[in-house]
Structure 1
Amino acid sequence: MQTGIKSVDTLITKYGILVSPGADEFQRRVRLTGGDERANNLPFCMYQKVAHAPLSKCFNVHHFYLPSHKGKLASFLFDEKGNLIEQVYYQRVARWVKVCRKLEQLVTRAKQDVQLAA
């Protein structure tokens, strides 16, 4: 899938999209439970969802970064079923927002592919 930004396309080709917890230069995926203290580092809207959830509830947080700009690109919060709960786009320029939306599609599709394979 072409995002429209060559540097992001190169990062996707190089690292792929994580479907399990892990990290690299381009992305980080973390599994959290309700009330987890690591939620303090999340955007406020995501923090509220995780911090006030029961301990039995699990979440996946997927962050994307731009290594060349040393900044955040987007963050996505999913529930244990893979449903998107919250998303935050750190870039406000229209072409970068389109890239974030395409990343959201890729993360959602990657999660669905793993469920189908299981």
Structure 2
Amino acid sequence: MQTGNKSVDQLIAKYGILSTPGVNEFQRRVRLTGGDERANNLPFCMYQKVAYAPLSQFFSVHHFYLPSHKGKLASFLFDEKGNLIEQVYYQRVARWVKVCRKLEQLVKRSKQDIQLAA
């Protein structure tokens, strides 16, 4: 048990946590540069950070979805060093917020594992 929610734990077991850009049913990870037009689809707080950043700055956006509910779960914006800049939890129920916090920890941990390996 990683998140405390059986359906999310099953999705993690099936797909894992993406550490490089990619897409699957549960998550999507995208690499953006400062001023990237794809930032238009991000939540406003993330859009501002990416749209007004210099072109030389890189970002990583990690989105999580609930395929069974056909809805968004959470989005995380990281800078090129792997530091969390912004987070958005789309679910407002307390138990889902806890799941989102656990996902945040898992994403940070996978990011740290990659940096240590390099």
- Category of TM-score, reference length = shorter chain: over 0.9
The alpha-carbon deviation at position 2 of structure 1 amounts to 2.2
Query: What is the correspondence of 1:12-23 to structure 2 with a 5 Å cutoff?
Result: 12-23=12-23
TM-score (norm 2): 0.99
* Residue-by-residue CA offset, 1:23-42 (whole Å, 9 max, x unaligned): 00000000000000000000
What is the aligned-residue identity percentage?
Answer: 88
Query: What is the correspondence of 1:1-118 to structure 2 with a 5 Å cutoff?
Result: 1-118=1-118
Gaps of at least 5 residues in structure 1 are none
**Matches of 2:96 and 2:67 in 1, distance apart?**
15
SS at match of 1:68: coil
**Matches of 1:48 and 1:2 in 2, distance apart?**
32
**CA RMSD in angstroms, aligned pairs only:** 0.6
The alpha-carbon deviation at position 4 of structure 1 amounts to 1.3
- In the alignment, residue 62 of structure 2 is paired with which amino acid? H
Gaps of at least 5 residues in structure 2 are none
How many residues are aligned here?
118
TM-score (norm 1): 0.99
**Matches of 2:55 and 2:46 in 1, distance apart?**
16
